[in-house]
Amino acid sequence: MAQRRLKLDDAIKFGEVILLAIPWRKKQELPSSELFGKIVIDAMNPYSENFEVIDLGNNTISSEEVSKQIRKHVKNYI
């Protein structure tokens, strides 16, 4: 089987399951509208550039914040 390297946007369009494993501070750069409707596994941890834990409070978790970001960029989300 031949292997090929895809650009981020092409990989997201191709894949059915997406594993997010990027620095937390770069989550705003995700192509959120392309992630909608995919199975998204969040392996990110909320750490700052100085590797300090970012306190998200008691009412949310990182996966929920990523989900909110994805839904915010999709028109007609119910």
Contact predicate 77/71, CB 8 Å? yes
Q: Does 1 map to a domain? A: no
Number of separate domains in the chain: 1
Report residue 74's pLDDT band, with 50, 70 and 90 as the boundaries: low
Report residue 59's pLDDT band, with 50, 70 and 90 as the boundaries: confident
Report residue 75's pLDDT band, with 50, 70 and 90 as the boundaries: low
Can you tell me the distance from the alpha carbon of 64 to that of 42, in angstroms, rounded to the nearest whole number?
Answer: 9
Domain range enclosing 25 = 17-72
For 9-53, the pLDDT digits (tens) are: 888 888 889 888 888 888 888 877 788 888 888 888 888 888 888
Mean pLDDT of 45-71: 83
Q: Does 33 map to a domain? A: yes
Q: Does 25 map to a domain? A: yes
Q: Does 2 map to a domain? A: no
Instruction: Assign 3-class secondary structure to 12-47.
Output: HHHCCEEEECCCHHHHHHCCHHHHCCCEEEECCCCE
pTM above 0.85, yes or no: no
Q: Does 27 map to a domain? A: yes
